[in-house]
Amino acid sequence: MVVLAVIILVVSMAAPVLLRARRHSQATQILSQLQLLQSALDQYALAAHSPAGTLVEWKDLQPYLKRDPDLYLSRGTDPLGNRYGNGHFAVGQPPKLSSSSFATLSDVAPEEAWSPFYP
């Protein structure tokens, strides 16, 4: 009985730490993917001779994302299932983090950590 109580106590103390570490890992992955999306937008603009402000669809960016298969196959969604930039991308503008993803991850990555990808 005492051993079981100790195990329950240890698990209850470790669970919040593990959940926070998971959210931190997701935030790191999302930030990396936003940087890759920015690079893909830049590469697309150079290849297509697109001026700043040109709207770009997800299918146009996919050829430039093959080095990250998770992002390539994601259809423009982050690991939390929210769309990057609400599905809108434009040349010369950084892709945006969804407000829902920011709200979920704000305790492990404050607003300044997301610059220039959040508002």
pLDDT tens digit sequence for 33-47: 999 999 999 999 999
Question: What pLDDT, on a 0 to 100 scale, did the predictor assign at position 50?
Answer: 93
Within 10 A of 73 (CB to CB), how many other CB atoms are there? 10
Instruction: Give the pLDDT confidence score for residue 48 in this predicted structure.
Output: 94
Q: What is the pLDDT, as a whole number, of residue 8?
A: 84
- Cα distance between residue 115 and residue 59, in whole Å: 25
Whole-number mean pLDDT of the chain? 90
User: Which are the contacts of 65, defined by CB distance < 8 A and separation ≥ 6?
Assistant: 36, 37, 40, 71, 72
> What is the DSSP code (8-state) at residue 112?
G
- For residue 45, give every residue at least 6 positions away whose Cβ sits within 8 Å of its Cβ, in sequence order, or none: 52, 54, 91, 92
pTM for this structure? 0.85
- Give me the pLDDT at residue 35, please: 94
